[in-house]
Structure 1
Amino acid sequence: MQTATENDVMHVSDHYESVIACQQSVLLFYYALDRGEYPLAMAQVAPDCQWERGGAMLRGRQQIEDSLRNRPVTQVARHTVQNFAVLRGEAQRATAVYSLCVHLYDDGSPASLPVPGSTPFLLADVTCELGLEADNAWRIRRLDIQRIFSYSREVIHPLAAPKQG
């Protein structure tokens, strides 16, 4: 039989195991997104995930994937997650926060790495709700992205259609 101290240690260990699993889900989402590996990105998203992206509320994996696949094939993007913390963690739900820095490059030609450096496109604070699914995987259930800094004057809204003539 475990002592109270051993039970506490196991509980703390379980908590940090969940924190790491949540963080991995978020990191894998952006890693896959940046490389166009949409099946891997969608594996990190709950079936009923909600994400306001480009002024539209996306609901579910299919809408999210369709939106992501609309990105220009010539665009190179990198998302950097920093200051990740789980503010609220329960047995089946967690709320994480982090800073998200996005670099974008697109000169209209096929991308060849490395691309020229530039300032970041934006810096945002993100609140991410995650849930433990039936297969024991933590998945993103909701993304709430709050822009803090936008660095590009000519791009006010990253997903808006380009102005015509």
Structure 2
Amino acid sequence: MTSNPPPLPVRPLQPGRPAQPRLPWHHFTMRFSSTPRGARLARRLAGERLDAWGVPYGSNTHDVVTLVVAELSANAVRHGHVPGRDFRLSLSAEGSALRVEVTDTRGERLPVQPAGLDGDGDGDGGRGLLLVSAMTDRWGWFPCTDGPGKTVWAVVEVPSA
């Protein structure tokens, strides 16, 4: 008869700090044509990267991050488009956070802090940053330092299991 080995010691959690999953460091950057097709491709490739990084298709985090990529990419195409210039998508994972950055080359059209829905809510558009604000833990923008344009970013904290 064999006996089971003693269990490994369990390291107690630090008080006041919830357990957070730790994501290994990953980074993905790619330029896309500033067209609706480029925005769709950015969303699809972001979804594929997230799945490869261990954030599976169909999970809440995967769905939130791909929606954020879709909204920010669509905004770059619609509001940040400069003929002949691409937009750039950057994704990074580190610790318990996923960060999305979308850079376009139109620095004079700045994102507006969403205040909520106006009127009856039947109009087309105008809700992208409201969705980003509601679904992410924080978001913002900064001007590009290496040329014209701006970068809009958003961070999603991965919930503990």
TM-score, normalization by structure 2: 0.30
Flag the structure with higher strand content: 1
Larger RCO: 1 or 2 (CA < 8 Å, sep 6+):
2
Which has the higher Rg, Structure 1 or Structure 2? 2
TM-score, normalization by structure 1: 0.29
